[in-house]
Amino acid sequence: MRRAASQTLPSNASANGIRGAMASMNRVIASRTDTGKAGSAGVGSGVSSGEAGGDRRVWLMPFESRTNQGDRNGESGFSASTWGMATGAEMELESGRVGLSYAYASTSVSGNTAITGTGSRSRIESNMVALYGNVPLGELSLTWQADVGRNGVRLSRDMRFGGLNRTASSRYHAWDAHLGANVSFTLPVNETMNLVPSLQLDYTRLESPSYVESGAGALNLTVQGKRSEALLLGTGARLNYALTPSSQISTYLGVSYDVINDRGDLVATYAGAPGQAFTTTGPAHSPWLLKAGVSYRFKLAEVTDISLRFDAEGRSGFINHSAAVKASWRF
C-alpha cells in the first residue's frame, strides 16, 4: 500500500536536475575567473592573470556531469546525467576584465525505484547567459558572476499497482538566476607555487511554475508553482604549481554552508479531488557542502591555451561530479 501511494506523489527530481545543471554550468563560467599564476615560471590563468597580449579572448568548453541523490526519509532519490557546451568572449578594461558567456546543457533524470517500485523520468534542456568579470582590489582580487537561465522540462511517472497501468506526463518551463562573488588573495610559496585562499558568496533562485499532468485520469496531479532558493557562504583554497614554463596544475578544496537549506516541499491536488490539496515534504539534508577539484593547463601555442579539469561537490547522500575541456584563444 505504501509503495502504491508513493507512485501517485509528485517528485522534486526535475528541480534537483535543474539545480545540478546550474551547478555544472556555473562551475564552467567560474573557471574563467580562477585566480592563480604559479609564480614567474607558470602559465597565466586567463581572466585574472593579466598576461601581455591577453587583453581579448574567446573560449569554448564542452562539459559533462553526473549527479546521484540517495533515498532519504521515505523520499526517492535520483540519478542525473548532463552534457553541454559553453562559449564566451572577454576583454580587458581599465578597472579589470569582463566577459559574456552562453551555455547549453541537456540533462536526463531517472528516479530511484527502491521505494516506489516504478520509474520516473525527466528530460531538461537548459540555456544560460552569464556576465562575469574580475576586479583587482589592491592585494585582493574580486571575481563576480551574474547569470539567468531558462529550462524546458518534460517529465513522466509510472503507476503500476492494483491492475493499474498508467503514465502521467507533463511539460513546463522553469527560470533560474544566480549571483556570485569571490574575494581571494595570492600567497607565494616559492617561484613555482602559490596558495590562493578565498571567500565566496553565492545566491541562486529557481522559479518553477504550476503544471498539470495528463495520461493518468483521476490520478493526474496539478502541482503548484514553487520558488526555491539557496544562499551559500563558503571558503576555500587553490594551490597552483607550475610544472613547466608553459604548463600548470591546480588543486582546490572548499566548504560552503547553505543558510536557507530549502527542503523542497511540493503542494499538489489530484484531478479526481481538485479541492483537496496536500503537501509532499522533501527530505532533510545537511546544509554543509564540500567541494574539490583539480585542473591541468598548458599552452598549445603562443595564443592558445588548453585546460582539463575535474570537479566534485557533495553532502550527505548527494554527490555531483563533472569533467570539462577548455580551449581559449587570445587575439
Among 8, 17, 181, 32, which Cα is nearest to 100's?
32
Residue 287 has pLDDT above 50, yes or no: yes
Each residue's pLDDT tens digit, 223-245: 999 999 999 999 999 999 999 98
Residue 4: pLDDT band (50, 70, 90) is confident
At 264 the pLDDT is: 80
pLDDT of 44 reads 45
Give the residue, 19 or 5, on which the prediction is more confident: 19
Query: What is the arithmetic mean of pLDDT over 275-287?
Result: 85
| DSSP at 282 | P
Q: Which three cell numbers stand for residue 214?
A: 495528463
Contact 162, 194 (CB under 8 A): no
pLDDT of residue 164: 86
Q: What is the pLDDT of residues 159-208, one digit of tens each?
A: 988 888 899 999 999 999 999 999 999 999 999 999 999 999 999 999 99
Q: Is the pLDDT of residue 50 over 60?
A: no
Positive or negative, the CA dihedral 48, 54, 58, 59 is: negative
- Close Cβ partners of 301 (under 8 Å, ≥ 6 residues apart): none
Give the span between the Cα atoms of 86 and 126, in whole angstroms: 12
User: Could you report how far apart the first and last alpha carbons of the chain are, in Å?
Assistant: 65
What pLDDT is stored for residue 38 in this prediction? 54
* pLDDT, tens digit, 9 for 90 and up, residues 84-115: 999 999 999 888 899 999 999 999 999 888 77
**pLDDT average, residue stretch 53-60:** 80
Mean pLDDT is highest, among 218-227, 281-290, 295-304, for: 218-227
**pLDDT value for 72:** 75
Contact (CB, 8 A) for 29 and 103: yes
User: Which band of pLDDT confidence, cut at 50, 70 and 90, is reported for residue 329?
Assistant: very high
